[in-house]
Amino acid sequence: MTTVARLRALISNFAALFAMPADAAATTRIERVPAIGRPLGRPEWSAILERRLDLPLAPRKPGPKPRVEPDTARPAQLP
């Protein structure tokens, strides 16, 4: 069960909200979100989430990641 009092305080007339003409750019961004799997929000908000979750959320450079060569200067440790 949920309480909708807070939401009704923010939006008193849901019918008017849904009757508003759609912003084409915003609609496109919202529709793309499930396909790209990234959160929809301002870059600052995504950066906060990245730090908090320790996960990359913002789009990165496409393509394979650069190879990291093992450190050959350090000899292998034997048990």
In a domain, 4, yes or no: no
Q: How many domains does the chain have?
A: 1
Given 3-state DSSP classes, what are the helix, strand and coil percentages for the chain, each rounded to the nearest 5?
A: 45, 0, 55
Q: Is the pTM of this model over 0.85?
A: no
Which pLDDT score, from 0 to 100, does residue 53 have?
Answer: 92
In a domain, 10, yes or no: no
In a domain, 48, yes or no: yes
Residue 4 one-letter amino acid: V
User: For residue 73, what pLDDT band results from cuts at 50, 70 and 90?
Assistant: low
Residue numbers of the domain that contains 28: 22-57
In a domain, 14, yes or no: no
Strand segments, DSSP code E, in the chain are none
Which pLDDT score, from 0 to 100, does residue 5 have?
Answer: 82
In a domain, 8, yes or no: no
pLDDT digits (tens, 9 = 90+) for 17-70: 888 888 888 888 788 777 777 777 888 988 999 999 998 888 788 888 888 877
